[in-house]
Amino acid sequence: MSNEDRFRKIHSILLKDWDPLIINGYGPPDEYDSYIPGIVHMLENNCTVEELERHLAWIEKERMGVSEVSEGISQAAKKLLACWNA
């Protein structure tokens, strides 16, 4: 899978499976793209699903100011890891 394909897949997972701001279909489609480089860095360094979950939770709480962690974190982390390892 090319880097461009991975970027598109990660973008899709963040928007459809994670989406803590519930913007899919309503907000800017690039809303979560700024988080992709950090996620790619983690994936390149063989992170675990749990580490991805913690990272996504940190983004939600610290960067977005979301008070409760979204339900999509676990599913998104699993899909991100599977996509990267495909």
- Distance of alpha carbon 1 from alpha carbon 80, whole angstroms: 14
Geometric angle at alpha carbon 32, from 6 and 2, rounded to 5°: 10
Cβ-contact 13, 52 below 8 angstroms: no
CA dist 80 and 86 (Å) reads 10
Q: What is the pLDDT along the chain (86 residues), one digit of tens a residue?
A: 788 898 999 999 999 999 999 987 788 999 999 999 999 999 999 999 999 999 999 999 999 999 888 889 999 999 999 999 88
